[in-house]
Each structure stands twice: as structure tokens, then as C-alpha cells.
Amino acid sequence: MKQVTAILLGAGQRGADVYAEYALQFPNELKIIAVAEPRKDRREAFAQLHNIPAENVTDTWEPLLEREKFADCVLVCTQDRMHFDPVMIALEKGYDVLCEKPMSNDKHELIAMGAKAKETGRVLSIAHTLRYSPFFMKLKELLETGSIGQLCAIQHMESVGYWHMAHSFVRGNWRREDETSPMILQKCCHDLDILSWLVGTPLETVSSFGSLSHFCAANKPEGAPAYCLDGCDHRDTCPYYAPRFYLEHPKAIEDGFQKILTMDTTREGMLKALEKGPYGRCVYGCDNTVVDHQVVNLNYQGGVTVSMTMSAFTKECERNIILMGSHGQIFGNMEKSLIEVRDFATGNTTTIHVHTPVGRHSGSDTVMMKEFLTVITSEGAQSRSNADASVESHLAALAAEESRLMSGKPIFIQEEFKKI
């Protein structure tokens, strides 16, 4: 494979620590030659790490895409509501594009992005990382080989993790749907995508319930200050006390949350960032609006039903799934790479430990980047997460949110397609 050159739009956690990290691990395959990032500390640190010349370092994406094409592809990792314009312009300029999920929170933009990719003949891949997971690929193989007979129902649980919820969706960038997108779209669109992929037939009906029930002013402990470091009397009993998480929780280091807080990850640097910064706020006094728990019911053509639960109130950040068939059940935990196949006729249980590459999303991110680079450098290669494949899951998420806001009213997906 020849080395691919890329422009990175957004050097946040996904852009810098996942996509661009691939360039550091496999420099013969990918080189980042330009970056746009609004945060000065992250922008400068990223440019230095990747040896990017000053003329290719900007605080907004527009100057880079105003120029004549000077790279092979564009990695769009901006905020959810900022995907449409750079994707459309990059495709028009002749770039292949990898776009972070969700594509957009607007139905018409979803269709337009897919149409633009077809019109220009360029690749538009969406970062539905679960499609690249060895865990889910094994589940698909087990279904296709008839290991549990006819698939009848699925129960899927996305455990967000209390600490992840507080960091990303209460204090962080994804806390408000009017600035980003609804929780079910931003957090779960690739869950809905993988569920449809496993079922393998068109989605017909969606209904949903959920709310923001805990992270609000009504639950604020008496006397709790606006910022955790302003002398909170509840620090020993509050699981969301910011200094304890950012300074002590292993996930703050492993998942790069400390660098989102500040690029100065010394104890002194992090405490300073928490004093009056957004990640030091009391979780009961933020301006968050996204839900903290939601259930979605899905009915597919052919009769398969799916129940998906997303909840903030879990210790672990993980995905668990049960596939129920006419002749057996499959239990799976993605983060543990563990699958159990239970045969009704024999009573036997087969345990499978799935090998996964090193990396986030149980190795899915590494596999996804490898495929994207292969697709754009190989004649006739197809992305398994192209725009067309992604539209249904995005519409399902938007339909779920519409249903939730209407107290669980069923939404008929095919009718939604006709409206666009």
C-alpha cells in the first residue's frame, strides 16, 4: 500500500488519539500533513507531534479546503453539527473522506452527503466502528451459519458508565442536543447500525422512551458549590467528584480524558483546569440537556424484534448482547471479547474468546482505519460503512428521538424515507 496523505479536521479525542494515532503506528501507510483545530494547546501539540508545517496548521477548517487539493483524503472529526459543509466541499474538491459518526442530525443532509459521494465518485466512509469489530463479525458469522437456528429477537445493552456520562455528556462537548445531537444519535447510532446489520432485513418500526432523570438541579445536594474544588462537603460520597476521577480513575488515563481536560497532565495542571473549567463543574449544575437513559424498540421486516437500552448508570462502559434463536441463544460481551453459544437440543454451551487487535472499541478503530486506506488505494474496493449503509441507522436514531418526545409513539421508518 502506498502512503496516503491526509488532512485532519478536528484534533480532539477521536481525531488525534484514534485516526491520527494510526499514522504514528503505521507511518508507511498514513501521514497527516495538515490540521485544523480550534484549541490552541491541542493544535500546537498535534502539529509538533506530526511535524506539520505552519502553513498547514489552522484554527478552522475553511482555509484548508479553500485551497486546491493537496492531500489524498480528509478526516472529518469536527463536532456533530459541523460535518456537512466540510464533507460536501471535500468531496467536491476530489478528496476521499472518512467522517466521524454521526454523519449529521439532519435527514436531508444525510441524503445529500450520500448523493454527493456518488456524484463525485469519491469514497465517503462513516466511522461506524462496530462493523469492524472482530466480536460483532463473529456474531454475524454465527448467525449466518445457523448456530442458533432462526433469529427471533435481540436484547442489546449499551452501558455508558457513570464516569463517561459525567465527562462527555454532562460536563463535556456532547451535553446539549441543540449544540451537537440527541444522545441516541451521537452515542448509539453505531449500535443501531450494527443491530440492523446483524438482523439483515429492513427496519420497519421504532418506538422509544427515556429522559434526563438524574443530572439536573433538582438532585443537587444541599450546599454543593458550582465547582467541585470550591469546597464541596459531599466529595467523599459523590461518585461524580471531578478531581477524584481525573486524578485517580484509570479510565481518565487510558481513554485520554486527562488530555481533553488539559494538555498539561501534571497534577498541578489538572487541578488548575478543574478550578473554573467546564470539567470541574458540579454535575448537578451544568447546562446539559441530553438524556441519561433511554430504551429503543425496533421491529424488522420478517418479524425480528430488538430491544436496546442505553444507560449512564453502570459501573463499566461496555456492550452486552443476547441473540435469541429458535434453536439456541448467544450471549456476548464486547469488551471482554467473550461469546457463549447455548444449544437448546444438546444443552451444550460453547465458549468463544475472540481475538481482537490492540486499540479502542475492542480493536475496531484500527481495523476501520486499515480498511479505509485500503479502499481509497485499491481499484473497486468497497467500504463496509459507506454513506448508503449508514443512512438507515441514522434515521432510526432520529426516529427513536422523535418517538421519545411523543411519549413512545411508533415511527414507521419507510414512511420517513418517503418524506425526504
Domain ranges, ordered by start, for the chain: 4-128, 131-215+289-361+386-419, 218-280
Tens of pLDDT, residue by residue over 124-148, are: 999 888 888 899 999 999 999 999 9
Distance, C-alpha 382 to centroid of its chain: 22
Non-local (6+) Cβ contacts of 111 within 8 A are 391, 420
Q: Which parts of the chain have pLDDT scores under 50?
A: none
Helix or strand holding residue 268 (H, E):
helix 267-276
The reported pLDDT for the residue numbered 39 is 92
E strands, 128-193, where?
151-159
Interval 334-391: pLDDT, tens: 999 999 999 999 999 999 999 876 655 556 888 899 999 999 998 877 888 888 878 8
Looking at residue 107, its pLDDT comes to: 87
pLDDT at 362: 57
Assess contact for 170 and 215: CB atoms under 8 A: yes
Q: Give me the phi and psi of 268, to 5 degrees please.
A: -65, -40
Residue 299: what pLDDT? 97
Residue 13 and residue 260 in contact, taking contact as beta carbons nearer than 8 Å: yes
Residue 360: the pLDDT is 59
CATH numeric code, 131-215+289-361+386-419: 3.30.360.10
Alpha-carbon torsion, ordered 112, 113, 117, 119, to 10 deg: 20
Rounded Cα distance between 56 and 236, Å, is 47
pLDDT recorded at residue 359: 57
| pTM for the whole structure | 0.88
pLDDT at 418: 61
DSSP secondary structure code for residue 348 in this structure:
-
CATH fourth-level superfamily of 4-128: NAD(P)-binding Rossmann-like Domain (3.40.50.720)
Q: In whole angstroms, what is the distance from residue 395 CA to residue 392 CA?
A: 5
pLDDT of residue 307: 98
